[in-house]
Structure 1
Amino acid sequence: MIAGIAHINLIIPEGTLEEANEFYGNTLGLTPRPVPHLQKNRLAWFDIGTSGQQVHIAYGASEEESPRHPCFKIESPEKLLELQRRIWEHHEKGDKSSPRATDKPGEANSGE
């Protein structure tokens, strides 16, 4: 029987691995981990806390606007607000790795 998730694999456009590392590693705070030597600079892997679960990032065909997304379980309402603030701050920077759309902390959630 299935006991949990080992990893999820998310796809990104070719040439955007640096932006994915910035967002998943720095903004979301996931822990980067080594990828197989032959896949270096083509994949990114991140640990989700100490759960044994991972997020894998790989190149692939991707739509500009897509409903695909990961859904992370957050430790507490306070940690959720902290993460929302970090994501909002990254969105406000407006750099290449910034989320294009996000809810402003303290305002009604849009569901996106």
Structure 2
Amino acid sequence: MITGIHHVNLLVPEGTLDDAFAFYGETLGLHSTPVPQLQRGRIAWFNIGEASGQQIHIAFGQNDPGASRHPCFKIGSLQDLQALQKRIWDHHQRGGSAAPMAADQPGEQNSGVHIFLFGG
């Protein structure tokens, strides 16, 4: 089902985006790429390599349980995505120490799309 990593979102304290550009861009040599207009000055995206399709995303936030840090995986097909979303939801519903703290219920609004389009 999962075919790769699209991006990993890392969190930095408010006001340190310039430090992220210095470290990820200058020190590590990753190339920044444009972010959506409404997100400029709030997030940064860095490409890993020339054509890998993989990125590091930097956003403001604290590393607490409700934080926006996350990996974003590449999925083979819409059917694979729907099956994986159901497995994640079922695990969330079952609970337990390894269960996701939050999950989108299949067929309901996708929280990731809402955050991306509306800024939270």
Question: Letter of the aligned partner of 2:35 in structure 1?
Answer: V
Q: Does 1:22 align with 2:45?
A: no
Q: Which structure 1 residue ranges, 4+ long, deviate > 4 Å from structure 2?
A: none
Task: State the match for 1:57 in structure 2.
Answer: 58
Cα distance between partner residues in 1 of 2:54 and 2:62: 24
Provide the aligned C-alpha RMSD in A. Answer: 1.6
TM-score, normalization by structure 1? 0.55
* Unpaired stretches in structure 2, ≥5 consecutive residues: 70-120
Cα distance between partner residues in 1 of 2:19 and 2:45: 14
Q: Which has the larger radius of gyration?
A: 2
Q: What percentage of aligned pairs have identical amino acids?
A: 62
* Unpaired stretches in structure 1, ≥5 consecutive residues: 69-112
Task: State the match for 2:108 in structure 1.
Answer: none
Cα distance between partner residues in 1 of 2:59 and 2:26: 18
Shift of 1:62: 3.9
Number of aligned positions between the proteins: 64
Tell me the alpha carbon deviations over residues 51-86 of structure 1, each in whole angstroms, 9 at most, x when there is no partner: 1000000000148xxxx9xxxxxxxxxxxxxxxxxx
Question: Letter of the aligned partner of 1:54 in structure 2?
Answer: Q
Structure in which a larger fraction of residues adopt helix? 2
